[in-house]
Structure 1
Amino acid sequence: MGMNIKDPEVHAMARELAARRSTTVTDAVRQALRAELERCPSTEPPSAIEARKAAIRAICARVSARNEWQGLSSKELQDALYDEDGLPK
């Protein structure tokens, strides 16, 4: 998985941080992002996160239980959703 950052200033800062830490640019960015994430934790309470996860699991269970989709391959499911040009039916 890659990122494409098109800002020359950001590239220069990442290279400078990597040089100061004697590491790779990727590792310098990883360390900087990790430090920033730890510095500003999520403001969402854990109960809200768990509620959202439960809602997603419920949606997945309802979708998986649909009888018309049982026994179909992923290719068959895709063909049911998209036409020959890859557009939604």
Structure 2
Amino acid sequence: MPTISMFYGIIIRMYCSPREHNPPHVHAYYQDYKAIIDICACEVSEGKLPPKQTKLVLAWAEIHKEELLADWELASKGELPFPIEPLK
């Protein structure tokens, strides 16, 4: 699962597999926390991050929604997604 972005100690990854399930999503990791972020809804669909990191990840996902969906298309075909600019 390639890392597509990292910021403020948060790692964002996306699986690359034609069998990856919908809805489009990314995996966010922070210390011992893990969450799945629904790209279209920009919300946590599974898992948990601390409140501050949740806000950062959701803001980042909203800003980069189009890029994330384009990466999802690539990843769903088994291709590597492109890196996405971190939150600054």
- TM class by shorter chain equals under 0.3
Q: Which has the higher helix share?
A: 1
TM-score, normalising length: structure 1: 0.24
- For the pair shown, the structure with the greater C-alpha radius of gyration is 1
